[in-house]
Amino acid sequence: KAGVTQTPRYLIKTRGQQVTLSCSPISGHRSVSWYQQTPGQGLQFLFEYFSETQRNKGNFPGRFSGRQFSNSRSEMNVSTLELGDSALYLCASSLVSGTRSYEQYFGPGTRLTVT
């Protein structure tokens, strides 16, 4: 079974621009979560989508947004980029069955550099 895929793997943007990152979950996984990893703040939860609805949201400004499509693929968008948005953005998917959630599996990440 194919793992979680993320595109692009590397991205360089300029301050003020916007960016869209994509994540394809493991087949059959309907929950997709996004995390930001930086040397200073570590791994921080951004948001989670299940059945095309945002279920949980971390403590990030409104410039960070996301969505999920009917095939469970997800995108996240960052508008008006700031230097501090430079990070590795990780996507994770998990299986959800009834009220039970299972462990999260991560993709390789998208390395975003803002100049």
Contacts with another protein by CB under 8 A lie at: 4, 6, 31, 33, 35, 42-43, 45, 48, 50, 55-56, 58, 90, 92, 94, 96, 99-101, 103-109
**CB nearer another protein, residue 10 or residue 62:** 10
| Cβ distance to another protein smaller for residue 24 or 33 | 33
C-alpha to C-alpha distance for 41 and 87, rounded to whole angstroms: 10
Cβ distance to another protein smaller for residue 31 or 72: 31
Q: State how far the Cα of 82 lies from the Cα of 24, in Å rounded to an integer.
A: 26
Angle at CA of residue 113, ends 85 and 24, nearest 5°: 85
Question: Shortest gap between Cβ of 9 and another protein (angstroms)?
Answer: 10
Structure tokens at 102: 């299972």
Q: What is the smallest separation between the CB atom of 64 and another protein, expressed in angstroms? A: 15
Q: What does residue 85 show for φ and ψ, rounded to 5 degrees?
A: -80, -5
